[in-house]
């Protein structure tokens, strides 16, 4: 699924990519572990940083440990032309290692949302291509 929430044609790469990880049947502890594994993989790529996504303020009366906040990563991309594509490819490969358990990763950048889950590999590749084209490289010049 690809959702355009921006009022313009996409943001230049070199910015921030927000990821939310989920897995069918996973509790907060499992999501935290999965997110840690994905974070370690993403840190091996040409990115500036990968950090836990700040949870924000919890609504009144909610539990202190909010599973919605668990599973989030903030990826600070480098200005590399292939950085965003490499991150998306790594996410797709990571999803495929779920041993039959349905995993979903929701990515947000520049007002655009890309959710990868049970789409075919061909459909995922097409969606990734559209997402990457909407976020061209900012060469700083």
pTM of the model: 0.73
- The CATH class that applies to domain 2-6+13-53+69-133 reads alpha beta
Task: Count Cβ atoms below 10 Å from residue 30 Cβ, excluding itself.
Answer: 15
Domain boundaries, the chain: 2-6+13-53+69-133
Whether the CA torsion 76, 90, 88, 20 is positive or negative: it is: negative
How many CB atoms are located within 10 Å of the residue 136 CB?
15
Q: Which residue has the higher pLDDT, 64 or 52?
A: 52
Of 2, 4, 17, 13, nearest in space to 126 by CA: 2
pLDDT digits (tens, 9 = 90+) for 79-108: 776 788 899 889 988 988 877 788 899 999
Nearest Cα to Cα of residue 71 among 103, 32, 41 = 32
pLDDT of residue 76: 92
SS3 of residue 75 by DSSP: strand
Q: Which two tokens stand for residue 31?
A: 């999501």
Q: Which of 126, 122, 88, 84 is nearest to 105 (CA)?
A: 88
pLDDT at 136 over 80: no
Q: Give the number of other CB atoms < 10 A from CB of residue 111.
A: 14
Please give the pLDDT value at position 21. 93
> Are 18 and 72 spatial neighbours (Cβ–Cβ below 8 Å)?
yes
Supply the DSSP symbol for 51: E
Token readout for 77 is 């991309």
């Amino acid at each position: 699924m690809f959702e355009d929430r921006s009022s313009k044609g996409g943001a230049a790469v070199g910015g921030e990519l927000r990821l939310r990880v989920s897995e069918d049947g996973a509790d907060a502890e499992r999501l935290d572990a999965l997110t840690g594994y994905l974070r370690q993989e993403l840190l091996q790529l040409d990115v500036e940083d990968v950090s836990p996504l700040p949870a924000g303020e919890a609504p009144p009366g909610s539990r202190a440990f909010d599973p919605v906040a668990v599973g989030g990563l903030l990826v600070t991309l480098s200005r590399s032309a292939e950085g965003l594509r490499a991150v998306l490819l790594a996410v797709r490969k990571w999803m495929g290692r779920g041993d039959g358990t349905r995993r979903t990763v929701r990515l947000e950048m520049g007002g655009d949302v890309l959710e990868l889950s049970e789409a075919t590999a061909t459909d995922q590749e097409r969606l990734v291509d559209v997402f990457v084209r909407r976020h061209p490289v900012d060469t700083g010049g």
